[in-house]
Structure 1
Amino acid sequence: MDVSGHADPYFIAKIDDRISFTSTILSNTATPKWNDEKWIVRNIPLNAKLTVKIYDKDDSKILDNYIGGFEILDLINYYAPVKGHQIIDSFNRHHGFFHLSIQSMESSEETIHLPRYTFDGPCRYSRHDSFAVGRLTMLNADCIYSTWKIQSSTNDIWQSPLSLASQNALKLAHKVLYGRTLKYNENGQLNNANDLWKCIFSDRTTKRIKPCIYTYVVDDNTWRFSETDVQVFADFASKHALLANASEYVRYAGQFHPRPKYGWDNCDDEWELVFDNGYGTYAPDINLLINLKDLLLFNFPGLHIVTYEYDDPKLKESMAALKHATEKYKNSTTTIQQFVLTCPWTP
């Protein structure tokens, strides 16, 4: 793509306003190339329309600068223009060309049963670090509060309405706490369940899986979560409605935590994720946890998942064991960090 003038561009692609894809942000370039960006969508209608809009990221503004966009009306029989698609802004001005490739094929017997517009990878993740929230929550020695977003396919949907005033307040808080910025972000791709453990749930300092509780929501085609705690601000920052950006439509919500499959005395063996429906604003039925498990296995085959209803005694036992493991982890992490800080630095 060629953009007139230097920018920090990214693009958003949508198919029939039913499913969307947001690219990574590239810094200070007028000729961005997203060579690793792929988007696989199953069971697209024959008359589907693709809309692509390009933006210039600006951390100093509430809204990013709109560069321009274009539409493709025939995805199935797509033919790429030699010069690319013209990028036209709201005032019909030309801002360069956008090149992309589209491959289409008939739905197979394995995928034809899936719903329309099913996202099928690759699973991309983004992490947003907030130092301001980190200093308020004090969940780690680095004073960093991280929020994660993973693109994933979705299936069932249920609704929990919010008042307009609540929506506006939560959206503003979501923008402040979790908005994508040029700094303090990490982006990557998850190819399997092992990548999920290594890139998402392993502590960046100790390289160990951190025992903690996460609040999560699944809305549209994303899985969003952040660490939670009994502290007032940490609990507020990880609220379901805030994570969901006040969306009226979500699929699943609750809490989850990692644990060793064979107990906390065997942390070098296999791990699993324990999900519940411990909701706040949103109220999923317990039966939907089965669908949540299927959803996660569809995106991460081989991932070990356990589901409990929020008042299940087994969940309370797991949380008690997690609390004990968390205290041990905090003590050992402090020791490691003190050792790193006191060791002489060598070039």
Structure 2
Amino acid sequence: MTNFISQLIHSDKANPSEMLSSIHRKVSALVHPSPSSFTNQPVQPRSLSNTNWDISINFKGAKDLPRGDLLSSDPFLEAYLGPPEDKTSLSFVTGVEWATLNPNWNATWSLLNVMDGMELQIQVKDKNKMMVDTDLGHASLVLGANLDGTREHFIDLWKPNGRRQGQLLIETTAIRSYGASAELKGPSTKGPARYSRHTSYAAGVLTKDKKLEFYTYRIRLYHLADIFGVDTERYQGWNRDYEASQRIFAETIDGQNIRNALHSQHALLYRHGRSTVYGALATANELGELLHGDRWRKDPGQDLKTVVFTYSIVPKGMYFSETGTAFFQDFMSKHAMHANRATEVLFAGEFRLYKDEHHNNDWTLLIDNNSGTYAPSKDELYKVQQLFKLNFPDLLVRAVDREDPYLKELVEATKKAEAAQASRQSQPMALFGANVGSSEQEVLSSHNQANHRCEL
């Protein structure tokens, strides 16, 4: 098997597309166990809770909000089931509506097994691009039996100075918890996972005088605390045996400068603006459309197995982007940049998302722990697999170690297939070079001067 793959990879006459197809047919059965290899899980008895509720909350919008700046606001909403400062509290965030005092968020949060009488804490903020977000006001809503059925709520917003200004429009649908929901140990989020896609033109590679877009993504995956816990001592710290990590996290002037640069890179690539796209993901198809929809429309024949993403998972969600060799070659650490120079993460590595034509054309996530900066243990890979299955039940997830021989063969095949494309990219554009637009340069300058930590 290994000899077959090696011959394909090192053959000068091998067509990259045919080579990958041949490799994938050979290793697909090994990557994807047959259905009979899975242990059937016992069906939970259908039970009824007399006190707990499953509640869908639609944050429709607001009217007459306070101004966050001179003329208007860029409002977004955060909601917490429990104290906002408590790391174990379930949380939700809408997208940003730009330049309006009457936003239409239309964002839905579905909760399971909510105890009668729990209070939903709501905060509305004005998004600021180059400084801390401004608090516009707060509100609350008691959840439980009082919401039985479908109801609309007009809730007053209270400004930080104690004055009332503006109203929130919220629609709730509540039913008694039953079945698997009633068996949960406590409140839980059903979904959907909220995402934001950020566009950077400065990070695009200049090819034939055309400026290309570069996307970074943030997905607020749920059940992070359930799976990884909230004790930071148990998180994955930086790799002390890795030279690059030692330089990044050294308590020296050089280390501080590197961390500031990573912070500025993160701030630029994940900044919110009018080109930022917000939405929700509940299915594998929706995830595939987000990551590959534009690609399909531009190049329907591209093999998605050759598209690799670099990711870091932190308590606020998953941050990632496509691993572009030309753009990222000057980065000290891609994973530390995505994690905003965090000294510890929940997990980090690389992944591929593709449709497996040999297994019912199902969407397949092949995810690993390939991060030199944080070097997560292969013994923790099952947690990542569990995380994605909870967020995307119809997604086929396989978590493999970075030293897996078949993954290594696929990586080598991908490199060979990408060589032609890389050769067409004349030279990378420096992230902080002359081609950075004036507005993006202002963001970098502001973050370097302020030297504050971005929200993860």
Q: Shorter chain as normaliser: what TM range?
A: 0.7 to 0.9
Q: Tell me the number of residue pairs that the alignment of Structure 1 and Structure 2 aligns.
A: 325
TM-score, normalization: structure 1? 0.78
Look up the equivalent residue of 2:79 and give its one-letter code.
A
Give the 3 Å change call, closer, same or farther, for CA 229–32 of structure 1 in structure 2.
closer
Using the alignment, how far apart are the partners of 2:204 and 2:424 within structure 1? 21
Matches within 5 A, 1:1-347: 1-2=62-63, 3-4=65-66, 6-16=72-82, 17=84, 18-35=89-106, 37-46=107-116, 48-59=118-129, 61-72=130-141, 74-78=142-146, 84-114=154-184, 116-135=186-205, 142-154=211-223, 155-157=226-228, 158-161=234-237, 169=260, 170-181=262-273, 183-204=274-295, 206-208=298-300, 210=304, 211-220=306-315, 222-231=317-326, 233-234=328-329, 236=331, 239-247=334-342, 250-259=345-354, 261=356, 272-327=364-419
Give the 3 Å change call, closer, same or farther, for CA 234–226 of structure 1 in structure 2.
farther
Using the alignment, how far apart are the partners of 1:161 and 1:323 within structure 2? 29
Q: Cα offset for 1:108?
A: 2.8
Give the 3 Å change call, closer, same or farther, for CA 319–129 of structure 1 in structure 2.
same
Q: Could you say which residue in structure 1 is the equivalent of 2:447?
A: none
- Are the aligned partners of 2:362 and 2:395 in contact in 1 as well (CA < 8 Å)? no
Match of 2:204, SS state, is: helix
Using the alignment, how far apart are the partners of 2:138 and 2:102 within structure 1? 16
TM-score, normalization: structure 2? 0.61
- Percent of pairs identical after alignment? 27
1:7-33 per-residue CA deviation (whole Å, 9 max, x = no partner) reads 321111122232221111122322222
- Are the aligned partners of 1:123 and 1:151 in contact in 2 as well (CA < 8 Å)? yes
The structure whose RCO (Cα within 8 Å, separation 6+) is larger is 2
1:49-83 per-residue CA deviation (whole Å, 9 max, x = no partner) reads 32211122343x322332111233x3224569988
- Are the aligned partners of 1:53 and 1:68 in contact in 2 as well (CA < 8 Å)? yes
Q: Cα offset for 1:184?
A: 2.3
Using the alignment, how far apart are the partners of 1:271 and 1:84 within structure 2? 41
Using the alignment, how far apart are the partners of 1:314 and 1:277 within structure 2? 14
Using the alignment, how far apart are the partners of 2:153 and 2:187 within structure 1? 29
- Are the aligned partners of 1:212 and 1:326 in contact in 2 as well (CA < 8 Å)? no
Q: Could you say which residue in structure 2 is the equivalent of 1:339?
A: none
- Are the aligned partners of 1:254 and 1:279 in contact in 2 as well (CA < 8 Å)? yes
Look up the equivalent residue of 2:189 and give its one-letter code.
F
Give the 3 Å change call, closer, same or farther, for CA 113–226 of structure 1 in structure 2.
farther
Using the alignment, how far apart are the partners of 1:246 and 1:261 within structure 2? 35
Using the alignment, how far apart are the partners of 2:335 and 2:276 within structure 1? 21
Using the alignment, how far apart are the partners of 2:76 and 2:189 within structure 1? 20
Q: Cα offset for 1:129?
A: 0.9
- Are the aligned partners of 1:75 and 1:102 in contact in 2 as well (CA < 8 Å)? no
Give the 3 Å change call, closer, same or farther, for CA 314–280 of structure 1 in structure 2.
same
Match of 1:39, SS state, is: strand
- Are the aligned partners of 2:200 and 2:268 in contact in 1 as well (CA < 8 Å)? no
Q: Cα offset for 1:92?
A: 1.6
- Are the aligned partners of 2:74 and 2:96 in contact in 1 as well (CA < 8 Å)? yes
Look up the equivalent residue of 1:28 and give its one-letter code.
A
Give 1 or 2 for the bigger CA radius of gyration.
2
Unaligned runs of 5+ in 1: 334-347
- Are the aligned partners of 2:151 and 2:172 in contact in 1 as well (CA < 8 Å)? no
1:268-321 per-residue CA deviation (whole Å, 9 max, x = no partner) reads 955533211112333433132223223222322332333221111111111122
1:232-274 per-residue CA deviation (whole Å, 9 max, x = no partner) reads 74563872233233456643221112456358xx9x9555332
